[in-house]
Amino acid sequence: MGIPPFLRKAQQWFFKTPERSLDQAYEAARMIEAIENEHFDGNPISARYGNYGKSSMNYFEGELQKYLNLINLRMTEFRASSAVIRVSDPKIMEIQVGEPSDQDYTLNVIDRPSLFFRKLQFVDEVRARYRRTESSSAQTVVMVKEPATAQPRIQSEGQSTQLLNGQQRQASPGAIAPLATTPKAIDQNGQRSAGITDRASVLPRSILRTVDRIRQDLDPNAEEQVVKNFRSSRGRTTTAIRFLLLLVIVPLLTQQFAKNYVVGPIVDYARENQEADVFLNMEMEEEALHELQQYEERLRFEVLIGKVEPIREAEIEERVVEKATEIESEYRDRSADAVKNVFSDILAVSAFIILLTNQKRGILTLKSFLDEIVYGLSDSAKAFIIILFTDMFVGFHSPHGWEVLMEGLSRHLGFAANREFIFLFIATFPVILDTVFKYWIFRYLNRISPSAVATYKNMNE
């Protein structure tokens, strides 16, 4: 009696736990290295090596801490699983056959144990640059730049594994504090130099910042640095605004182009050949009947009050028939337009998702730009914007606005407005949105700008 398939899959999943954990830790280390190369010129993630605002550095440090936590978690899982599971056989070599080219086949020999140990070495090198040390007063995160030999890069399957020429990482006294405390820098001789925390214990930080600003003003290269910072800021702002316009313009153009030139002709041809119904739902039919009834009653009323010359009953019937034909044509176009909106909106949303997926750097730049704008406002302006948005979307009068939006969306897509669904949506979504607002205020804004939270509470009361 053989092993059931699900037990065989579970067994395979269990025995691949060390390799899977190492792969996930390796990918997290690659993400850290990508941030270093893309935003800090290959240097560690620190304000010392990047000209970014406070909110941007908070984001980078948060990403660093997230990936470091993931690496630590996966490496713990790797050590625990490798203690009971055989990781790899040192004699195993993998041979892959490449795609035929000019009637020749390429054989790629992959040394899996060597590949395995190179991944492990790369993860250890990244972790070594952000080494945790315990001080006598508090736990700090110290970043040490250690010289390394060639850094390994693992190519995709089907390609031979090779070592790229790694950049030599020079020793530097840079330090970073992803935690609340500020680290002390380590110089090239291994001595611990005085950090911001040590200086703050002697003099207030405001005096130190003033002295530092005066020193920068007296620096002969200060003007060049200011121009460089301005150009960098202008480039980021231009990139963020361009990406924001793309997020708005591309879906709109996709929706209009698809509706008029792709989906529209197909829908019109299908409805003409199949003699589709005039009304998509009962609500549209009731609106048409109500409009025709109002026209007939208005016409008879105008005759009775003498506003219009007396008309025979047969002529009234003829006018009503003409109006009915006009209403039928109008609602037939509305029905076809609603069907076109469904498919064109799907294409527009797909274009929006593709744009977000392929423009990760633009998303990062846009987020940094919005953070600088929001967190750069005064406390009263922050409180005003928060109160405006919360009252508009989750306030006392917000259910009426949500009801209008949902009915408009139903009419746009050609669906009958379901009152029960609309009321259920209003009863749940604004509550969730209000919870998200409160969590953001408590979790982030209260830590970054406590005075803005105090101003918001005073204005809200």
Q: Where are the domains of the chain?
A: 5-195, 228-361, 377-461
pLDDT reported for residue 174: 36
pLDDT reported for residue 11: 63
pLDDT reported for residue 12: 64
Give the pLDDT band of residue 195 (cuts 50, 70, 90): very low
Give the pLDDT band of residue 292 (cuts 50, 70, 90): very high
Nearest Cα residue to 399 out of 379, 419, 382: 419
Give the pLDDT band of residue 35 (cuts 50, 70, 90): confident
Q: For 69-126, how does the pLDDT look when each residue is reduced to its tens digit (9 = 90+)?
A: 888 888 887 887 776 665 554 444 444 445 554 444 444 444 566 777 788 888 888 8
pLDDT reported for residue 233: 81
pLDDT reported for residue 347: 94
220 CB-contact burial (10 Å; exposed 0-12 / middle 13-18 / buried 19+): exposed
Q: Could you tell me what percent of the chain has a pLDDT over 90?
A: 13
Lowest mean pLDDT among 9-13, 168-172, 236-240, 350-354: 168-172
b/e 30-44 (16+ beta carbons within 10 angstroms → b): bbbbebbeebbeebb
Reported as type and span, the H/E element at residue 288 is helix 282-304
| DSSP characters over 184-196 | --B-TTSPBPP-H
Q: Which residue has the higher pLDDT, 47 or 252?
A: 252
pLDDT reported for residue 231: 83
CA dist list (Å): 59 to 55, 56, 66, 95: 6, 5, 10, 43
CA dist list (Å): 371 to 56, 374, 439, 452: 7, 5, 17, 15
Q: Which residue has the higher pLDDT, 185 or 272?
A: 272
Lowest mean pLDDT among 36-50, 142-156, 437-451: 142-156
pLDDT reported for residue 14: 66
- Does the structure show a pLDDT above 60 at 423? yes
pTM of the model: 0.51
340-322-317-320 Cα dihedral, nearest 10 degrees: 50
pLDDT reported for residue 290: 92
pLDDT reported for residue 203: 57
The answer for 42, left when phi > 0, alpha when psi is -120 to 50, beta otherwise, is: left
pLDDT reported for residue 70: 86
Distance of CA 325 to the CA centre of its chain: 50
Cα distance between residue 175 and residue 336, in whole Å: 63
pLDDT reported for residue 134: 32
Structure tokens at 440: 């953001």
Cα distance between residue 36 and residue 45, in whole Å: 6
Positive or negative, the CA dihedral 53, 54, 55, 61 is positive
Q: What mean pLDDT is predicted for residues 37-45?
A: 82
- Does the structure show a pLDDT above 90 at 349? yes
- Does the structure show a pLDDT above 90 at 257? yes
- Does the structure show a pLDDT above 70 at 13? no
- Does the structure show a pLDDT above 60 at 194? no
Q: What mean pLDDT is predicted for residues 251-276?
A: 87
- Does the structure show a pLDDT above 80 at 221? no
pLDDT reported for residue 148: 39
298 CB-contact burial (10 Å; exposed 0-12 / middle 13-18 / buried 19+): exposed
- Does the structure show a pLDDT above 60 at 171? no
- Does the structure show a pLDDT above 60 at 317? yes
